Amino acid sequence: MTFAMIKSQPMKKWQFWLGVLISVVFIWLALRGLRLDQFWGAVKTANYWWLIPGIGVYFVGVWVRAWRWHYLLGPIKKIPTNSMFPITTIGYMGNNIYPARAGEVLRAVILKRREGVSVSASLATIIVERIFDGVVMLAFVFVNLPELARLTGGSGFVGNIQQVAVIGTGVFLGALAIFLLAAMFPHTTAKVMLWFIEHLAPKRLHERITSLMNKFLDGLASLRSPLNVLMVFFTSVIIWLLETGKYWFVMQAFNFKVSFFALMLMNGIVNLATTIPSAPGYIGTFDAPGIAVLTAYGVDQATAAGYTLTLHVALWLPITLLGAYFLAREGIKWSDSLRSETKEN
């Protein structure tokens, strides 16, 4: 079975080409002034056996992601984590090779096919995941703010990260507050949304939009319990600590050492940077800030570039291959017929 890439028409949209342009700019920022001979020297002398435990720790984190999604979907339908894991990997594969994070929609559609959960409800839980991920990433940055303030004097690229962190915190906490209020007061939220639907949406779409809204609110049901919110936050912290563990293992392959907290800071910054539109696979937006953080810690540019690019491949390739395998096993392809399911309830 083969699966098709998104067809050329969406790929021609200005958003895609803007992402490519942004990636090119970030690649230039990452590699300007790099001595290629020193870079290849760092890459050639690395001990790549350390990638094996790093990849293992990362997949434990993916398993926890699947459990978290299972937990968020619990009020809608109890689905075993064993069933959620392949769908989760398909989603991350989709994010890595399709533009505009299409993998999120892809896993919602596959979940609908396999378990009958509406796409709207699934997307609500996925957005909640992303909000909690953003909060944890910002927490990683804030835990290291005193260290960051010491580093940013001559680092240039990360010099404004404190301001970005403050703005980002406001955005993510504001979004979290809105979702928590919507979850805790679904009837009030529905009344407010119905008013906007009736006054702003075409009348012929009222019934469809209202149905989607109700299913979306159903997807927030897990947030109605403070204990559930605490559990989702706790698992999110575990997920990102495990991913930082992969950063640590990959670091052992190279000739430099920074603290685990420094890698937490790098993890937070690079993952916040990947929210910037870019070419598929977060090309450039992952690499430039990662190299900048390490050079701010005194790591030479060639070693920092070799490590960051190796880490990027190690994060991208295994989950992409496994997700492609699971997608092939589903016997489906990303096509017009599959995309049309995103429009259904």
Is the separation of the CB atoms in 285 and 22 below 8 Å?
Answer: yes
pTM value is: 0.86
Instruction: Fill in the amino acid letter for 126.
Output: I
Q: How confident is the model at residue 343 (pLDDT cuts 50, 70, 90)?
A: low
The closest of 83, 135, 114, 117 to 216, measured between CA atoms, is 117
Q: Is 152's pLDDT higher than 80?
A: no
- Helices within 32-118 (DSSP H only): 36-44, 51-73, 81-97, 102-115
**Cα(first)–Cα(last) distance of the chain, in Å?**
28
How far is it, in rounded angstroms, from Cα 167 to Cα 230?
24
Lowest mean pLDDT among 148-162, 195-209, 218-232, 233-247: 148-162
- Which has more confidence, 203 or 122? 122
Residue-wise burial string across 121-146, b where 16 or more C-beta atoms lie within 10 A, e elsewhere: bbbbbbbbbebbbbbbbbbbbbebee
Q: Is 340's pLDDT higher than 60?
A: no
Structure-block tokens of residue 287: 């690499």
5-39 pLDDT, tens digit per residue, is 334 444 456 667 777 788 888 888 778 888 888 88
Q: How confident is the model at residue 339 (pLDDT cuts 50, 70, 90)?
A: low
The winner for highest mean pLDDT among 157-171, 234-248, 330-344 is: 234-248
Phi, psi of 110 (to 5 degrees): -65, -40
How far is it, in rounded angstroms, from Cα 94 to Cα 300?
34
194-223 average pLDDT score? 84
At residue 8, the pLDDT reads 40
Percent of the chain whose pLDDT exceeds 70: 86
91-106 average pLDDT score? 87
309-324 average pLDDT score? 95
Cα atoms in the 13 Å half-sphere on the side-chain side of 232 = 29
The winner for highest mean pLDDT among 143-152, 166-175, 223-232 is: 223-232
How far is it, in rounded angstroms, from Cα 288 to Cα 293?
9
Average pLDDT, the chain: 84
Structure-block tokens of residue 187: 């009837």
